């Protein structure tokens, strides 16, 4: 899917803070209505501007009340002296509300942007006043400057509704896995409190459990363990159902299916890894160059150079942590299953003899190179140099 907003910039250029909120001087005098949303759980604060006046018009409405939103937009056009059919440009920060509002506004033919909150500049050496009204006012000022060519933020690439729905499968599986791990630890902790050791990975039969002196466990401890067993079995059953659902979801969208099948052909890339890469990135994102690819997963380097000093601050980590950790795991698997590839030879020449720390640094660099190589593979059909494919079934 082609991103409607343009791709994430290679580097983020932050603007200098200003003492007022006056729009910059420009020769653009076309009629446009600018709207910034500050989304809350109970109320929305809206800031309206035509790009010419000193201060925007700020109103508050009930959260998710689209009828009230339409009324306020019509009233703002009258107050600002704009025609009824004037183009509308809007924005809001990405957050808990997700992208449903963006799709509603797009259906109304608004030019909407979803902004990365982490890309907004904040004062570093003084206290910053923060209210919903002030946030909306500052956001509409940035929106005006963005459309006049200034680099003031980073824009989120919004997936289509079907793609976002497919991604729920793997994310739910992650949560189930975490919950199962927590319950498993709790069960073994209760056993440890009564001197029962962990003899195997499977839970013992509660009717046969005895402490070191040969006595059965107390009744309340057994009741707690019984309820924990039931919760664990429920989660295990749901996880098994999600595995079946995941295999079906991988084939719902043609591009996502092709990406999944292509990645799964490579040795060292399993079904789960191929599914995550297809649904989270390669199966719907569009990139213009390799710098955007590495930046999208948070593996791009962060230089810090000033005057006579220069050092690296590490990777940017400006992306989903799960995807980044997956690439590090895939990098280790790549070394194991693709020993003759050019990427493996590069790693061995530079890091294999440098000790543990050098290997940990090198594996992140390999993960970045591997991510770019996989993008070239699924996009342009360029198989990584020296890489082996799985034999045909």
Cβ(309)–Cβ(322) below 8 Å: no
Q: Quick one: pLDDT band at residue 55, thresholds 50, 70, 90?
A: very high
Q: Can you give the pLDDT at residue 28?
A: 52
pLDDT, tens digit, 9 for 90 and up, residues 307-318: 778 788 888 888
Q: Quick one: pLDDT band at residue 134, thresholds 50, 70, 90?
A: very high
- Rounded to an integer, the average pLDDT of 143-171 is 94
- Rounded to an integer, the average pLDDT of 163-172 is 94
Q: Can you give the pLDDT at residue 12?
A: 34
Give residue limits of the domains in the chain.
33-147, 167-249, 254-380
Q: Quick one: pLDDT band at residue 29, thresholds 50, 70, 90?
A: low
Residue 5 scores a pLDDT above 70: no
CATH superfamily of 33-147: ATPase, nucleotide binding domain (3.30.420.40)
- With pLDDT > 70 as the criterion, what percentage of the chain qualifies? 92
Q: Can you give the pLDDT at residue 195?
A: 95
- Rounded to an integer, the average pLDDT of 228-237 is 97
Residue 7 scores a pLDDT above 50: no
Q: How far apart are CA 249 and CA 18, in angstroms?
A: 48
Residue 289 scores a pLDDT above 80: yes
Q: How far apart are CA 135 and CA 113, in angstroms?
A: 16
Cβ(6)–Cβ(116) below 8 Å: no
Cross-strand partners of 34? 49, 89
Provide the mean pLDDT of the chain: 90
Q: Can you give the pLDDT at residue 13?
A: 34
Cβ(362)–Cβ(350) below 8 Å: yes
Q: How far apart are CA 34 and CA 40, in angstroms?
A: 20
CA-only gyration radius of the chain, Å: 27
Q: Quick one: pLDDT band at residue 4, thresholds 50, 70, 90?
A: very low
- Rounded to an integer, the average pLDDT of 122-127 is 75
Residue 260 scores a pLDDT above 80: yes
pTM reported for the whole predicted model: 0.84
CB atoms within 10 A of CB 223: 12
Q: Can you give the pLDDT at residue 127?
A: 77
**Considering only CA atoms, which of 150, 154, 135, 116 is closest in space to residue 15?**
150
Residue 239 scores a pLDDT above 80: yes
Q: Can you give the pLDDT at residue 393?
A: 60
190 phi and psi angles, rounded to 5 deg: -65, -40
Q: Can you give the pLDDT at residue 26?
A: 45
386 phi and psi angles, rounded to 5 deg: 80, 0
Cβ(151)–Cβ(12) below 8 Å: yes
Among 56-60, 168-172, 278-282, 299-303, the least confident range: 299-303
Return all residues near 298 (Cβ < 8 A) that are at least 6 apart. 315, 316, 317, 318, 319, 320, 321, 323, 324
Go through 155-177 and write b for each residue having 16 or more CB atoms within 10 A of its CB, e for each that does not.
bbbbbeeebbebbebbeebeebe
Task: Retrieve residue 295's tokens.
Answer: 């930046």
């Amino acid at each position: 899917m082609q991103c409607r907003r343009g791709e994430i910039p290679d580097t983020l250029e932050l603007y200098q803070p200003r003492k007022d909120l006056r729009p910059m001087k420009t020769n653009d005098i076309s009629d446009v209505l600018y709207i910034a949303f500050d989304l809350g759980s109970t109320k929305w604060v809206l800031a309206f501007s035509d790009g010419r006046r000193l201060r925007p018009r700020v109103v508050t409405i009930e959260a998710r009340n689209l009828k009230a939103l339409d009324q306020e937009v019509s009233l703002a056009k009258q107050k600002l002296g704009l025609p009824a059919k004037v183009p509308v440009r809007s924005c809001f920060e990405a957050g808990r509300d997700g992208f449903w509002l963006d799709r509603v506004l797009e259906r109304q033919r608004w030019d909407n942007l979803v902004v990365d909150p982490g890309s907004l500049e904040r004062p570093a050496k003084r206290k910053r006043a923060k209210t919903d009204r002030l946030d909306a006012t500052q956001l509409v000022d940035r929106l005006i400057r963005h459309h006049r060519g200034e680099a003031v933020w980073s824009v989120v690439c919004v997936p289509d509704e079907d793609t976002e729905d497919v991604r729920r499968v793997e994310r739910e599986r992650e949560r189930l896995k975490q919950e199962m791990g927590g319950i498993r630890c709790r069960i073994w902790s209760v056993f440890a409190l009564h001197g029962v050791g962990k003899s195997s990975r499977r839970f013992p039969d509660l009717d046969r459990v005895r402490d070191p002196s040969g006595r059965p466990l107390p009744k309340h401890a057994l009741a707690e363990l019984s309820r924990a067993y039931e919760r664990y079995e429920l989660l295990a059953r749901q996880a098994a159902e999600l595995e079946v659902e995941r295999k079906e979801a991988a084939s719902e969208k043609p591009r996502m299916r092709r990406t999944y099948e292509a990645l799964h052909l490579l040795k060292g890339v399993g079904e789960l890894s191929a599914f995550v890469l297809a649904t989270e990135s390669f199966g719907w994102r569009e990139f213009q160059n390799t710098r955007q690819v590495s930046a999208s997963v948070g593996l791009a380097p962060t230089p810090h150079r000033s005057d006579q000093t220069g050092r690296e601050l590490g990777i940017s980590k400006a992306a989903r942590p799960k995807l980044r950790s997956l690439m590090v795991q895939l990098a280790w698997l790549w070394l194991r299953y693709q020993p003759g590839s050019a990427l493996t030879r590069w790693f061995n020449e530079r890091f294999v003899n440098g000790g543990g720390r050098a290997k940990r640094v090198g594996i992140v660099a390999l993960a970045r190179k591997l991510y770019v190589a996989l993008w070239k593979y699924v996009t342009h059909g360029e198989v990584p140099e020296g890489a082996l494919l799985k034999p045909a079934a």
